[in-house]
Structure 1
Amino acid sequence: MRRVMIWLGGGVLALLLLMLSGLLLADHLTPRATGAPSTALPLLPAQTAIDRELAPYLATHPGETAATLLPDGLDAFAARAASARLAGRSLDLQYYMWHDDLVGHLLAREVYAAAERGVRVRLLLDDINTKGLDPALLALDAHPNIEVRLYNPFRNRSGVWRLLEMVQRFFSVNHRMHNKAWIVDGRVALVGGRNIGDEYFDAGSSVNFRDLDMLLLGPAVADASAIFDDFWNSSAAVPIEALNPQTPENLHKLVAALAHESADATAQVYLERVAASPSAQRLSNHELSPHWSANIVVASDPPLKTKSADRGDWLQPRLAAHLDGVHSEVLLISPYFVPGRQGTATLLGLVRSGTRVGVITNSLATNDVPAVHSGYERYRPRLLAGGVSLYELRRNGPVATHGLFGSSGASLHTKAFVIDGTRGFVGSFNLDPRSANLNTEMGVLFDDPGLARDLRREYLRLAAPALSYQLRRGADGSTQWLDRTTQPPQVLGHEPDAGWWLRAITRVMSWLPIESQL
C-alpha cells in the first residue's frame, strides 16, 4: 500500500511539474506564426459575378446592409454552396470545427472547385478539433490558391505526445477560437452559430442541431473581413505546412475521393433534399426579401483575447451593455447557459424592474456537454423563483428534425438574443464563462425592428410546446417540467428523457469547482 501511495504521489508531482513547465515556458512551447501577412482583396465594381450582381442591388440602399436569418439547415448549406460557386475573387473561411463527414466533404469540394477557378482561399481553423485531419488539410494546402492556418495549434500532431502537450500547455491550450464566418468575394458573409458538419445542416443520422446564421450583403461584410484579417495575421495563426511535412501528391487523391463521395447515393439523397427545399430554392435563385439597415455590425473578441488586460475590446462587455437600462422584454437563446452569479443577478434585476425575461436552453437530454448542464442547473431554481421564464429543448418531440434517412433527435445550438423587439444579436457567443473569458467569439449586432421581429419569431418557435418543455417551480420549491403537448399539461418531476445514471453524474459534476471552465 505504501508503495502504491509513493507511486501515486510521484505521478501527481510529475503532472504538476509538467503543467508548471508549460505555464512558465508557454511562449516558447507555442508554435510560431510564420505565415506571410495578407489582407482581404479589394472590392471592384464588376470583377466577379457577385460584384456585378450585388453592386447595383446595394446601390439602391446606400450605406445599408441587407440581412436575412437562416434558421433552416438546408438553407444554410445552400447559401454556402451557392456562394462558393459564384465566388470569383476570394473565400475567407474561419471555423471552430470542420468535420470529416458528408457535409464537410461536400463543402470542401466546393472550396477546391473555387480554387481551381483562380479564387484565393484562406482557411483558418481552430486546432483543438483537427486531430486526424492533417492529411486532408495538407492536401488542400498544397493547392497554389489555398492556404490553411491553424489557431493556437499543437506542435505534436497525434498520439501520446499530443496528449502530453495538452497537459503541459493546459493553460494556453485552453483558449480556443470559437468564431464562425464564411466570407465570399468580400461581398457576402455568413456569420452565426454553425460549424461545418452534418449535424449543423440537417444531415445528421441521430441528432441535428437547431442553429442560426445571418446572411449579410453590403457594408457589414467589411467588418467580418477585417476580423478575419486580424485573426489570420495574428501570432496565434500558424500555417499548417509549418507543423507537418507537405504531401502534394495527396491533393489528387483527396479530390478523387471528394468527387466519388459527392456522386454516391447518400450524398445524392441530401443534395436532392436541398434542391427540393422551397426556401433553399428561393435562396439559390436570389429571391431574397432581406431587411435593409445601417445599424448592423459584425463584432468579435480580439485574436489574442486572454493576453489583453483591457477587456474594453472584448465581446462580452459589449453584449452585456445591451442589458443595461430599462427594458420591456429580453429573450435569450443559449445552448450552453451558465449565467453565473453576476448573470443571474442581472436577469433577476431585470425581472424586478418589470422586464419580461425568457431563456431557451438545452435540456439535459439534448445537451451534448453534460458538464455544462451541471453548471446551469445550480442556478435554475433561483431563476425560476425570481420570475425568469425557462424553456428547455425536447430531444424527440411531435415535430422531429430530419436527418438523411428520416427523423432524428434535436439539440439546440443557436446563440442569440432579442431586446424590446428592436435590438438583437446572432453569433457564436454562449452565455457561459468559457465564451466570456476563454474562447474568442464573434457575431452580428443589429438595431432593426424587422430583424428583431424575425428573431423573436424564432424564439417563440423554439419555445413552443412541440419543441420545448416549460419549467416552473413547484409548491415545495422543486423544479418541474411541463409537457404542454397534452391537455392538461403533463407535469414531470425530474429531467425529462434522461436516465437516472446521466442525472446522477450531472448532479455530482454540479458539486465540482469547474464552473470557470464551462
Structure 2
Amino acid sequence: MCMGLAACSRLPAPVHEPVEAVEPNASTVSELARALAPLQQANAGQSGVALLPGGREALAARLGLIDAAQRSIDVQYYIWNDDVAGLLMFDALKRAADRGVTVRLLLDDNNTKGMDALLWEVDQHENIQVRLFNPFVHRHFRFWSYLTDFKRLNRRMHNKSLTVDNAASILGGRNIGDAYFELGQETLFVDLDVLAVGPVAKEVTDDFDKYWSSESSYPVWQVMSAPAEKVSITERANEVRRLEVGRAYHDSVSEQSLIDAIQSGSLVFHWARVHLVSDDPKKALGLAQPGKLVIDALPQLLGTPHERLMVVSPYLVPTSNGTQFFTQLADRGVEVRILTNSLAATDVAVVHSGYAKWRKALLKAGVTIFEMKPAYSVGQVGRPAFSGSSSASSLHAKTFAVDSSHLFVGSFNFDPRSARLNTEMGLVIESPEMVSQVWDNVQNALAQSSYQVTLDPAGNLIWLDHSNDPPIAYKSEPETNVFSRSAVWLMSKLPLDWLL
C-alpha cells in the first residue's frame, strides 16, 4: 500500500508552454514607464525605492500598480488567501487581462488547499497563466503527500513580488490576504514592503522568469482537474466590494492613480544603488550550487557591521552559529538590536522554541532584544514603519539595517528554513536616508509595541514594558500561560532547529 501511495505521489515533468517575449519599443513603452522616465534620467544607474509601511496603503499600491499595467504583470507569492484582499487582487488581474495585459501568476502550492476551482477559473482567461510551485499531487488529502514525499514538499517558495511592465515592483514580507493589509478582526500582521522602480525592477522580472521556467513550476491544468462548478471572479469581487472594507479600498485606490502620484511628486522615491538578492529556484530541489543562495549574498552586500546592526525577524532561530555571530559583533562594540515576536504574539510556537533557548546567551553577550506585544494601537505610535492595529498583532516584517548605510527588506527570516530550505528574495538598499527612516521608526515604536527582554542580577529573564512609567517588569513571558510556556520548553529540547 505504501508503495502504491508513493507511486501516486510522484510528479511528472512540468509541461511549459512557450510564451513569446514582448520586448518594449518606442510604440509599446507603457504609460507607467514613461511617467518614471524623467526620474530615472535624473538618477541614472540608480533605482528608486519607496517604503510601504501601512497594510492598507500596501494593498492600495498593489491594486494601483495592476490598474496601471499595459503590457505585463508577473506575480509570485507564498500565500494567496481566498478573502477580501485575495479576491480584489484576483479581480484586478482579470481586469488587466481584459485590457490585453499578459499576466503570469506563480503561487507556492503549500497554502492553496480549497482554492483549486478559483485558480482554475483565473487560468481560463486567454491572457492569464497560473502555475503552482512544488505542487501537491493529492489535492484534497495532502497529508498523504507529506507522508510519501516529505523531502520535496518540505521545501517551499517563500518569495513575494509583483512586477508591472518591467518598470515597477513591490517586494517585501507581505503575502496576499486580509491579515497582511489590516483587514478583519483576526490577528493582523505588522509588515513592511517596498515599491521599487528603475533597473532593479527589470532584475525582478528576469528572476521571475527563472522561477516560472523552473523544474518546480507546474501549470494548474497539469496538477488539478476541472471543477464541477464554475466560479465567477467578478461576482465574488463585487460581493466583497459591497462590504464596508471593500468600498473603502475601492475609494482609496480611485482617489489618485499611481501614475498621477508619480507625476505629481506625491509618491516620493529614495534613489540609490539597489541590489536584488534571490535564491536559485533549484534550492527547492536541494540542487542549488554553492554561492547561489541569499544567505551567501547578504553578507557580501550588507557588509560587516562596525557600529550597529538591527535585525527585525518574526521567526528568529539563531542556532549556535547565529548566536556566535551576534556575540562576536557585540564583543567588538557593535550595537546589536533584535526585534522578534513574543510567545504571545507569534503564530508559530514551535519556531519560538528555536529562539527561546538561545535568548539568555544573546543577552549575556550584550545583545539588546525586544519582543513584539500581541496587540497595540496605531494611534499610540503614529505612523511608524510598522503600523499595528487594536486587533491582535503579530510581527511579520523582515528587515536588517547595517550601520547607517545598508538596508535589507524582503522575505528572508533569520532562521535555518530561510537559509537552507525555502527559496527567498529581497532588496539590499544602499541608502543612509532609508536606514535612518526605518531605524528611527522602529525605535520610536518599541516602547509601545514591544517588551524589552533583560536579565536580572541572578541571570533570570525579565520582560520590561516601557509603555508604563515606571516600566512594569514581568518574571515570565507576558500574556501567556503555564501550558504554552511548558510546550515551548519541551519543543526546545527536541532537535528541530533545522526544520524551523
TM-score normalised by length of structure 2: 0.92
Change over 3 Å in CA distance of 1:157–1:73 after alignment to 2: same
- Structure 2 distance, partners of 1:249, 1:228, is 32
Which residue does 1:36 correspond to in 2?
17
1:235 corresponds to 2:215: yes
Bigger Cα displacement from structure 2, 203-212 vs 104-113: 203-212
Aligned ranges 1:282-321 → 2 under 5 Å: 287-293=266-272, 295-305=273-283, 306-308=285-287, 310-321=289-300
1:356 corresponds to 2:335: yes
Which residue does 1:200 correspond to in 2?
180
Aligned ranges 1:69-468 → 2 under 5 Å: 69-159=51-141, 162-246=142-226, 250=230, 253-272=232-251, 287-293=266-272, 295-305=273-283, 306-308=285-287, 310-321=289-300, 325=304, 327-397=306-376, 399=378, 407-462=390-445, 464-468=446-450
Deviation at 1:76, TM superposition (A): 0.6
Which residue does 1:488 correspond to in 2?
470
Change over 3 Å in CA distance of 1:280–1:498 after alignment to 2: farther
- Structure 2 distance, partners of 1:147, 1:476, is 61
Is the Cα contact below 8 Å between 1:34 and 1:239 reproduced in 2? yes
Which residue does 2:493 correspond to in 1?
511
* 3-state secondary structure, aligned to 1:250: coil
- Structure 1 distance, partners of 2:276, 2:146, is 32
Once superposed, which parts of structure 1, at least 4 consecutive aligned residues long, lie more than 6 Å away?
273-277
Deviation at 1:269, TM superposition (A): 4.2
Change over 3 Å in CA distance of 1:325–1:92 after alignment to 2: closer
Change over 3 Å in CA distance of 1:221–1:45 after alignment to 2: farther
The runs of 5 or more residues in structure 1 that have no matched partner are 1-13
- Structure 2 distance, partners of 1:325, 1:285, is 39
State the one-letter code of the partner of 1:43.
Answer: P
Is the Cα contact below 8 Å between 2:335 and 2:367 reproduced in 1? yes
Bigger Cα displacement from structure 2, 54-63 vs 485-494: 54-63
Is the Cα contact below 8 Å between 2:406 and 2:432 reproduced in 1? yes
Q: What percentage of residue pairs aligned between the two structures are identical?
A: 36
TM-score normalised by length of structure 1: 0.89
Change over 3 Å in CA distance of 1:37–1:421 after alignment to 2: farther
* 3-state secondary structure, aligned to 2:185: coil
Bigger Cα displacement from structure 2, 167-176 vs 201-210: 201-210
What whole-Å deviation, never above 9, does each CA across 1:366-394 have from its counterpart, x for those lacking one? 10000000110000000001000000011
What value does the CA root-mean-square deviation take over the aligned residues? 2.6
Deviation at 1:31, TM superposition (A): 3.7
- Structure 2 distance, partners of 1:272, 1:201, is 16
State the one-letter code of the partner of 2:357.
Answer: R
* 3-state secondary structure, aligned to 2:297: helix
Is the Cα contact below 8 Å between 2:405 and 2:435 reproduced in 1? yes
Which of 478, 485, 491 is 2:460 aligned to? 478
Which of 47, 59, 63 is 1:65 aligned to? 47
Is the Cα contact below 8 Å between 2:317 and 2:351 reproduced in 1? yes
Is the Cα contact below 8 Å between 1:375 and 1:515 reproduced in 2? yes
* 3-state secondary structure, aligned to 2:448: coil
Deviation at 1:260, TM superposition (A): 2.6
State the one-letter code of the partner of 1:33.
Answer: P
- Structure 2 distance, partners of 1:284, 1:75, is 18
- Structure 1 distance, partners of 2:226, 2:263, is 37
State the one-letter code of the partner of 1:214.
Answer: V
Change over 3 Å in CA distance of 1:59–1:157 after alignment to 2: same
* 3-state secondary structure, aligned to 2:188: strand
State the one-letter code of the partner of 2:213.
Answer: N
* 3-state secondary structure, aligned to 1:113: helix
Change over 3 Å in CA distance of 1:467–1:450 after alignment to 2: same
State the one-letter code of the partner of 2:112.
Answer: T
Is the Cα contact below 8 Å between 2:277 and 2:297 reproduced in 1? no
* 3-state secondary structure, aligned to 1:313: coil
Bigger Cα displacement from structure 2, 88-97 vs 506-515: 506-515
Is the Cα contact below 8 Å between 2:455 and 2:462 reproduced in 1? yes
Deviation at 1:500, TM superposition (A): 2.1
Change over 3 Å in CA distance of 1:284–1:54 after alignment to 2: closer
- Structure 2 distance, partners of 1:98, 1:106, is 11
- Structure 2 distance, partners of 1:344, 1:296, is 28
- Structure 2 distance, partners of 1:79, 1:156, is 36
- Structure 1 distance, partners of 2:344, 2:193, is 24
Is the Cα contact below 8 Å between 2:33 and 2:167 reproduced in 1? yes
Deviation at 1:257, TM superposition (A): 2.0
State the one-letter code of the partner of 1:438.
Answer: L
Which residue does 1:3 correspond to in 2?
none
- Structure 2 distance, partners of 1:437, 1:169, is 18
Deviation at 1:41, TM superposition (A): 3.5
Which residue does 2:386 correspond to in 1?
none
Deviation at 1:319, TM superposition (A): 1.6
* 3-state secondary structure, aligned to 1:361: strand
- Structure 2 distance, partners of 1:325, 1:399, is 34
Is the Cα contact below 8 Å between 1:365 and 1:497 reproduced in 2? yes
- Structure 2 distance, partners of 1:39, 1:487, is 64
The runs of 5 or more residues in structure 2 that have no matched partner are 384-388
Change over 3 Å in CA distance of 1:227–1:461 after alignment to 2: farther
Change over 3 Å in CA distance of 1:76–1:152 after alignment to 2: same
Change over 3 Å in CA distance of 1:164–1:410 after alignment to 2: same
